[in-house]
Amino acid sequence: MNQERMPTGDEGTLCRWQRLPAVELPATVVHVLDRLAAEGYQAYVVGGAPRNLLWQAPVMDWDLATDAPLHRLLAWYPGSHPGLPFGTVRAGSHIDLTLLREDLGYVDGRHPQAIRPAPSIESDLARRDFTVNSVAFNRQGVWSAEGALPDLARRIWRTVGDPEERFHQDALRVVRLARLAMTYGGLLEPGTLAAARRERSRVRSVVSRERLWGELWKMMAADDWAPYDQVGLDTVYGRIGRRRLAWPRPQTTEARVLYWLMEGFDSLSGALDWMGEWPLSRRQRVRLAFAAKILWARPDLERIAAAARSPGPGSAILADIARSAGYAGGLQPVRPALTAQDVVSGWSLRGARLGRALGEMQRLVAEDPSRNQPAFLVQWLNAWVAATQPRSQHPADGSGSGS
């Protein structure tokens, strides 16, 4: 057990550190650990779980490490295992079980060229990215890389070993450094930060767009973007600036992506071009583009709210933005009390003219939902039909009833 000297004033983290072997774990995790122990193998809780338990943060995923041979793990847990080339087997929902391993050389800036079994948990921890992620525990004790406990106590983000080497091995660590600090708070150790800034220029050339987009999506949940700016991730993500917006950051992830784009791009075309470079889903792309076209027109809050009330692919994003800006009125989508069939049967409109009428009626009720009454809309439609009657036809007789 690696028991390090604890910095003064951090007794809370020390107490939680000492209690890790007795912490209550989910039944599914206990089952995996007990199964391995019953077969005579060692197993440890590793990765982000020990860190989050010490910081009293939620644990979403459980990473376990073991000295059991891979063929035994595959016999116990058959199925699809995306991490199998790196000795990782999916042992249950949100539970990954990985061989104690050492990494043998990195050739592509992302993945080890080969792996081999590690002789001890200490050797396994020595290959990990940051000291705060290099803790392992089980019922027998707690192990860590050098410096882990002081850094956990102070929330210092520092690489295990030489930062230049760690970032050169896997360039994704540059982005993870910022994203983890944004998520959990803390300070970037100066040497680690300097190395990350030197390595950031090669990130896009060696890390897939899908992986980078996944990291950015996670960042959107954060409120503290100082680590992003410290590392200089605009170099990675291609945003061209940072300007202050008049309304606060919204709550939903999609709305935050749009907010982030509005901070960085003056023009709608720039934002749309940026979306085209990244692997957004078709649904994300449609929703964000719909909302972006409205917001880049610089509407006031009332117009944003009206657009949110108009059923469309980006209305939920616009509603979140209006709500975050302090709009107190209703933001639920409003559909006109008269349907398209009502308009066709009552006013005999067809084609483009029908489309115009329906669009104008939708805009009318979205701007002021109190207008969404059949009697009001009938009166409005009579006036609209008369005013837009083609000159070659007789004037409308105003007899449409819509009923």
The total of other beta-carbon atoms located within 10 Å of residue 189's CB is 20
Average pLDDT over residues 165-174: 96
pLDDT at 3: 44
Average pLDDT over residues 111-134: 93
Pairing of strands 95-99, 62-66: parallel
Pairing of strands 141-144, 135-138: antiparallel
Q: What is the C-alpha to C-alpha distance for residues 106 and 244, in angstroms, rounded to an integer?
A: 41
pLDDT at 270: 95
* Packed helices 315-324 and 282-295: angle between N→C axes, nearest 10 degrees: 50
pLDDT at 10: 63
Burial of 366 (0-12, 13-18, 19+ CB in 10 A): buried
For 200, phi then psi, to 5°, come to -65, -30
Structure tokens at 113: 């060229």
Average pLDDT over residues 250-270: 94
Among candidate residues 72, 80, 134, 126, the one with its CA nearest the CA of residue 99: 72
pLDDT at 9: 44
Please say if the pLDDT value at position 4 is more than 70: no
Query: For the CA atoms of the chain, what is the radius of gyration?
Result: 29
**Which amino acid, residue 110?**
R
Please say if the pLDDT value at position 12 is more than 80: no
pLDDT at 113: 87
Q: Which of 5-14, 86-95, 392-401 has the lowest mean pLDDT?
A: 392-401
Among candidate residues 45, 90, 98, the one with its CA nearest the CA of residue 68: 98
For 46, phi then psi, to 5°, come to -135, -175
Please say if the pLDDT value at position 217 is more than 50: yes
pLDDT at 67: 96
Q: Where are the beta strands (DSSP E) in 67-129?
A: 88-92, 95-99, 101-106, 112-117
Average pLDDT over residues 223-238: 95
The alpha carbon of residue 189 and the mean position of all alpha carbons in its chain are separated, in whole angstroms, by 25
Q: Read off the pTM.
A: 0.86
DSSP secondary structure, 232-280, as one string: TTHHHH--------SS---SSHHHHHHHHHHHH-SSHHHHHHHHHHS--
**Could you tell me which residue, 154 or 393, shows the higher pLDDT?**
154
Q: Which of 60-74, 78-92, 109-123, 131-145 has the lowest mean pLDDT?
A: 78-92
**Which amino acid, residue 329?**
G
Residues 6+ apart with CB under 8 A from 328: none
Q: What is the C-alpha to C-alpha distance for residues 261 and 274, in angstroms, rounded to an integer?
A: 9
8 Å CB contact between 195 and 178: no
8 Å CB contact between 209 and 172: no
Residue 65 bridge partners (DSSP): 44, 98
Q: What is the pLDDT of residues 336-375, one digit of tens each?
A: 999 999 999 999 999 999 999 999 999 999 999 999 999 9
pLDDT at 15: 82
Confidence of residue 204 (pLDDT cuts 50, 70, 90): very high
Residue showing tokens 């616009």: 318
* Packed helices 172-184 and 209-219: angle between N→C axes, nearest 10 degrees: 10
Share of the chain above pLDDT 70, in %: 94
pLDDT at 400: 53
pLDDT at 5: 47
Q: Which of 298-302, 376-380, 388-392 has the lowest mean pLDDT?
A: 388-392
Please say if the pLDDT value at position 243 is more than 90: no
pLDDT at 106: 87
Among candidate residues 123, 142, 187, 124, the one with its CA nearest the CA of residue 50: 142
Average pLDDT over residues 129-134: 97
Residue showing tokens 């300007």: 243
The total of other beta-carbon atoms located within 10 Å of residue 296's CB is 19
Q: What is the C-alpha to C-alpha distance for residues 329 and 322, in angstroms, rounded to an integer?
A: 9
Confidence of residue 397 (pLDDT cuts 50, 70, 90): very low
Please say if the pLDDT value at position 135 is more than 50: yes
Confidence of residue 16 (pLDDT cuts 50, 70, 90): confident
Q: Please give the C-alpha separations between residue 51 and each of 121, 136, 148, 194, 285, in angstroms, as whole numbers.
A: 16, 9, 10, 24, 35
Q: What is the pLDDT of residues 41-61, one digit of tens each?
A: 999 999 999 999 999 999 999
